[in-house]
Amino acid sequence: MKDYKHKNSLPASVMDAIKPVFQELSKRDLLERCVGGFTQNPNESLNGLIWRIAPKGTFVGRDTIEQAVYDAVLVFNDGQSSRLKVLLTLGVTPRKFCVQWINRENKRRLTAAGKAVLAASKEARVARRKAAMEGHEEDEPAYLAGGF
C-alpha cells in the first residue's frame, strides 16, 4: 500500500508562519487540560457581560470599552454588590432603590446558578436536548440556504 501524502494548498510561507502556533497548541500538557471536558464558558460569560454594557453594534470609544470591561470584571468576580463598593469608594451614597435592585439582581443570579448545578436540572436539560434531536430527521438538512 502506498503512503498517501496530503497535498497542502497553503503557500509555504503561510505554513511556516502557522506551524509554530499549531505545534504550541497541540502540546500534550495543554491538551491534557482539555480532557476533563472543561469549556470556555466562563470566558464567554465575561464577554457577554462586557457586550451587554457596550454592545458591539454601537460604536463607542476606547474609554467606554475600558469602563465596560472594568465593570464587567467587577460584576463577574463579585456580583452586583461590587458596584456598591465602587460607589462608596467614590463618595457616592447609593439610595434605597439602587440597593434594592442590586440585592434583587444578586439573588436572581445566585438562584439561577443554584438551579443550573442541580443534578435534576442537568438531567432535564439533557432530556430536552435528546428529545429535540430525536424529533429532527437525519435525512433533512439542518440548514438550507434561502430555506426559510
Number of C-beta neighbours around residue 81 at 10 A: 14
Is it the case that residue 8 has pLDDT exceeding 60? yes
Are 74 and 105 spatial neighbours (Cβ–Cβ below 8 Å)? no
pLDDT tens for 17-55 read 888 888 888 888 877 766 665 566 666 788 888 888 888
Confidence grade of residue 139 (pLDDT, cut at 50, 70, 90): low
- Concatenated DSSP letters of 99-120: HHHHHHHHHHHHHHHHHHH-HH
Q: What is the pLDDT of residue 70?
A: 93
Helix axis angle, 81-89 to 62-78, nearest 10° = 120
- Residue 28, pLDDT score: 83
Task: Please state, for a pLDDT cut of 90, what percent of the chain lies above it.
Answer: 24
Q: Is the pLDDT of residue 144 over 80?
A: no
DSSP class of residue 138 equals S
pTM score? 0.50
Exposure of 50 by Cβ count < 10 A (0-12 exposed, 13-18 middle, 19+ buried)? Answer: buried
* pLDDT at position 97 over 90: yes
Q: Pick from 2-6, 101-105, 108-112, 127-131 the range whose average pLDDT is largest.
A: 101-105
Residues whose CB is less than 8 angstroms from the CB of residue 103 and which lie 6 or more positions away in sequence, other chains included: 80, 81
Residue 147 confidence (pLDDT):
53
Res 126: pLDDT: 81
